[in-house]
């Protein structure tokens, strides 16, 4: 087994830091190499900026910092911290990506996947959908994505995928004996092929439940959840995520049927059937809403709905995917101005309410969730050793099996990321080639980026050209996180305790 990252040239460096300011005006320095954030006193902020920005090597920066530390008694401690970060942790300056060569063996890939991967099998049971949501990535306005299809996964393909998945789980059991399988059903709208979902669950429970405790999940628009389907989902303890974009007028603006009619009432009926089935079988499981918004969304109305009226709580609130699409050309300048105004006003409300721990459920998801992830980013993420830069996963850790039995990296990635099939299994040569292609891409596009370590770019965005949105995500996330922290220092401790309870925190000993 081998994985080798070699450095070819150490003669020049890239500045790997940014300065940012919270909404309350406090100046911070973020180091992209270590992930550390320092508050810089306003009295020396300008001087620290000049030192770090004017220096071309860490050695040059150290000379200037040590000089300042001797001359500036009031803030010598800050300069000492900067000195330690550079000399002991390699902070603020890194080698260009082009100086690295990357090699990884197929045997090492197999080992890493068997040990740490295989955490989810997603079955695309159909690529057909009963909705025609205006922002859907399969709606024709996204480059490199398929359009709505009419394919349905057969029982033969589904069973082969399940057996293959468990074969790998059994092979890797000695490396990760506590791992339990997750089988997710995806579409299109997966419930259009409910008979296959039913057969998959019954087959898995019958064949593998003695050795494993399978977990089942489904992402659905809920319109097809009748009483029979609801009882099946409840009895098999499914985690159900339902696409719901707020009150009727908001939801029906984008989430429509092929004939253009809104779908809100259909979704509410499906959720009601789920709730009735839960009462019947005594289930206390909570189901969640996946919320999508765009520049025309009335975020005030969405917050009111999810706080006061919705039968399910939101777990994610994301803007419509903005990369590789013409969707955002539909909106006017006024739409964008109004949208930014709403975000600012709601963020102020969130800050005010968070001091009393009486936050809106929706605003917690809209601001608090992303803020927590950014504040604890080094704890809540597992760094992929094959990705020297960016935050991508290892292809093969998750499987997305298409209706025709191809294995892709994940549900968000384009079809160019095929890494195997159900007949031959994982193609480790293809995985290696894909990683090398990705490494070549980031060497080209991310070479002199000051946020290369923090970037959220991954295989799902392999073909995308514009990365300015990733940079904005990091910078805006830092501003949000530290504005929240200044406003209420205890907020993130409370959020982290919730994540601990839900098992969403890794490597807590490093806190």
Could you count the other beta carbons within 10 Å of the beta carbon of residue 49?
15
Instruction: Say if residue 468 is preceded by a cis peptide, omega within 30 of 0.
Output: no
Domain count, the chain: 1
397, 117 Cβ separation under 8 angstroms: yes
Residues 6+ apart with CB under 8 A from 41: 27, 75, 78
Looking up tokens 């550390």 gives 36
pLDDT at 465: 58
CA 284, 288, 293: angle at the middle one, nearest 5?
165
Residues 6+ apart with CB under 8 A from 491: 354, 368, 484, 485
pLDDT at 380: 45
pLDDT at 508: 29
Structural domain contains residue 60 = yes
Structural domain contains residue 38 = yes
Structural domain contains residue 308 = no
Could you count the other beta carbons within 10 Å of the beta carbon of residue 6?
9
Structure tokens at 19: 């300065």
Could you count the other beta carbons within 10 Å of the beta carbon of residue 117?
22
Residue 14 gets the label, from left (phi > 0), alpha (psi -120 to 50) or beta, of beta
Tell me which residue range forms the domain holding 17. Answer: 3-98
- Three-class DSSP category at 22: coil
SS3 string of 161-224?
HHHHHHHHHHHCCCCCCCCCCEEEEECCCHHHHHHHHHHHHHHHHHHHCCCCCCEEEEEECCCC
Structural domain contains residue 51 = yes
Structural domain contains residue 155 = no
Looking up tokens 């504005």 gives 483
Structural domain contains residue 61 = yes
pLDDT at 430: 92
pLDDT at 416: 76
What b/e string do you get for 452-483 counting C-beta neighbours within 10 Å, with b at 16 or more? bbbbbbbbbbbbbeebeebbebbeebbbbbbb
Full-model pTM: 0.85
Alpha-carbon distance of 256 to 264, in angstroms, equals: 9
Length of the chain: 511
Structural domain contains residue 166 = no
Structural domain contains residue 59 = yes
Give, for all 511 residues of the chain, the pLDDT tens digit: 455 545 444 557 889 999 999 998 999 999 988 888 999 999 999 999 999 999 999 999 999 999 988 887 788 899 999 999 999 999 999 888 665 566 778 899 999 999 999 999 999 999 999 999 999 988 777 777 777 889 999 999 999 999 999 999 999 999 999 899 999 999 999 999 999 999 999 999 999 999 999 999 999 999 999 999 999 999 999 999 999 999 999 999 999 999 999 999 999 999 999 999 999 999 999 999 999 999 999 999 999 999 999 999 999 999 998 877 889 999 999 999 999 999 999 999 999 888 877 779 999 999 988 777 777 765 445 445 445 556 677 889 999 999 999 999 888 777 778 999 999 999 999 999 888 888 777 777 777 888 887 777 777 665 555 677 778 888 888 999 899 999 988 888 776 665 555 444 333 222 2
Residue 207 CB-density burial (10 A; 0-12 exposed, 13-18 middle, 19+ buried) = middle
């Amino acid at each position: 087994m081998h994985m080798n990252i070699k450095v070819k040239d150490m003669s020049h460096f890239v500045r790997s830091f940014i300065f940012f300011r919270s909404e309350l005006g406090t100046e911070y320095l973020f180091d992209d190499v270590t992930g550390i954030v320092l508050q810089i006193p306003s009295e020396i902020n300008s001087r620290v900026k000049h030192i770090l920005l004017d220096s071309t090597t860490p050695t040059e920066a150290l000379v200037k910092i040590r000089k300042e530390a001797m001359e500036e008694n009031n803030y010598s401690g800050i300069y000492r911290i900067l000195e330690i970060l550079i000399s002991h942790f390699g902070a603020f300056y890194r080698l260009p990506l082009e100086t690295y060569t990357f090699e990884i063996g197929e045997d090492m890939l197999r080992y890493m996947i068997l040990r740490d991967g295989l955490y989810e099998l997603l079955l695309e049971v159909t690529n057909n959908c009963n909705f025609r949501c205006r922002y859907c990535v399969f709606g024709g306005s996204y480059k490199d994505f398929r359009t709505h299809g009419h394919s349905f996964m057969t029982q033969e393909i589904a069973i082969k995928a399940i057996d293959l998945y468990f074969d790998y789980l059994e092979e890797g059991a000695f490396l990760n004996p506590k791992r339990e399988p997750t089988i997710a059903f995806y579409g299109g709208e997966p419930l259009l092929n409910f008979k296959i979902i039913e057969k998959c669950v019954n087959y898995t429970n019958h064949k593998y439940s003695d050795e494993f405790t399978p977990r089942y999940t489904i992402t659905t628009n809920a319109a097809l959840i009748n009483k029979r389907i609801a009882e099946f989902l409840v009895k098999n303890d499914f985690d159900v995520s339902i696409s719901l974009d707020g009150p009727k007028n908001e939801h029906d603006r984008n989430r429509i049927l092929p004939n253009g009619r809104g779908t809100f009432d259909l979704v509410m009926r499906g959720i009601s059937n789920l709730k009735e089935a839960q009462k019947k079988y005594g289930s206390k499981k909570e189901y969640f809403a996946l919320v999508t918004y765009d520049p025309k969304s009335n975020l005030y109305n969405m917050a009111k709905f999810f706080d006061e009226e919705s039968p399910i709580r939101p777990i994610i609130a994301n803007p419509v995917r903005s990369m590789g699409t013409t969707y955002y050309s539909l909106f006017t300048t006024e739409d964008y101005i109004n949208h930014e105004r709403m975000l600012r006003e709601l963020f102020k409300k969130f800050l005010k309410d968070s001091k009393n721990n009486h936050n809106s459920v929706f605003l917690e998801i809209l601001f608090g969730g992303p803020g927590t992830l950014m504040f604890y980013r080094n704890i809540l993420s597992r760094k992929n050793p094959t990705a020297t830069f960016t935050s991508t996963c290892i292809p093969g850790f998750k499987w997305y099996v298409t209706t025709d039995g191809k294995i892709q990296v994940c549900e968000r990635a384009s079809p160019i990321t095929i890494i195997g099939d159900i007949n031959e299994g994982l193609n480790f040569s293809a995985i290696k080639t894909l990683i090398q292609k990705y490494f070549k891409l980031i060497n080209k596009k991310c070479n002199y980026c000051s946020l290369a370590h923090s970037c959220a770019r991954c295989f799902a965005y392999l073909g995308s050209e514009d990365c300015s949105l990733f940079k904005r995500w990091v910078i805006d996330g830092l501003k949000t996180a530290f504005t929240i922290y200044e406003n209420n220092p205890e907020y993130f401790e409370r959020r982290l305790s919730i994540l601990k309870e839900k098992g969403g925190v890794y490597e807590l000993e490093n806190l």
